[in-house]
């Protein structure tokens, strides 16, 4: 599926490039991976995020070890424990499971603290990179700029080529005439 999408986008990019030679449309591209690898600010942010992730992962791993040792202890002592002691240890194990689950969601989950911190730190850098791309595109008189890293993504487009409202108008008028 991804190959088909990549092939389609590559073909589209090739056709656009051919068409642009005839119509004067100018296209450029960047490799965002190279930018992020070479930019000192991006490297610093990545190191900080790696350290934060390592801290969260270390705490999570420690919680898992504590849980595993508690389960092992329970399994060893289970036969010798009275019902109240068994119930107490089971409750402790369940509480540890719950804490682990909550920690993983709060710190490492998709909306967890790590992702929020990552977004907070990377957004200003992304905005700075996009501004630089737009400035260079204008200086070089480019109409479109794509990112070739991973999936092909349009990063900049000259506003004269925006047909969003024409399409919207066509759709709304088409819906009324039915």
| pLDDT at 44 (0 to 100) | 96
| pLDDT at 114 (0 to 100) | 96
143-157 burial, b if ≥16 CB within 10 A, otherwise e? bbbbbeeeebeebbe
The total of structural domains in the chain comes to 1
Q: Are 63 and 96 in contact (CB under 8 A)?
A: yes
| pLDDT at 177 (0 to 100) | 53
User: Which tokens hold the place of 148?
Assistant: 């070739």
Range of the domain at 82: 2-176
From first to last of its 178 residues, what are the pLDDT tens digits of the chain? 555 555 555 555 555 555 545 567 888 888 888 898 899 999 999 999 999 999 999 999 999 999 999 999 999 998 899 999 999 999 999 999 999 999 999 999 999 999 999 999 999 999 999 989 988 988 888 888 888 887 778 888 878 777 777 777 777 776 565 5
Distance CA 66, CA 10 (A): 51
Q: Are 156 and 27 in contact (CB under 8 A)?
A: no
| pLDDT at 71 (0 to 100) | 95
pTM of the entire structure? 0.68
């Amino acid at each position: 599926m991804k190959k088909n999408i990549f092939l389609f986008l590559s073909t589209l990019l090739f056709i656009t490039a051919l068409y642009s030679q005839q119509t004067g449309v100018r296209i450029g591209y960047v490799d965002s991976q190279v930018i992020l690898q070479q930019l000192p600010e991006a490297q610093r942010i990545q190191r900080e995020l790696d350290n934060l992730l390592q801290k969260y992962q270390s705490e999570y791993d420690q919680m898992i070890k504590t849980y595993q040792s508690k389960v092992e202890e329970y399994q060893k002592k289970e036969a010798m424990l009275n019902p109240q002691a068994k119930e107490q240890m089971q409750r402790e194990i369940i509480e540890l499971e719950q804490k682990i689950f909550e920690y993983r969601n709060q710190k490492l989950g998709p909306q967890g603290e790590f992702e929020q911190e990552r977004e907070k730190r990377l957004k200003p850098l992304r905005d700075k990179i996009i501004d630089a791309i737009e400035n260079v595109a204008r200086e070089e008189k480019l109409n479109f700029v794509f990112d070739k890293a991973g999936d092909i993504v349009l990063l900049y487009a000259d506003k004269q080529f925006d047909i969003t409202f024409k399409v919207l108008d066509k759709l709304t008028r088409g819906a009324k005439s039915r």
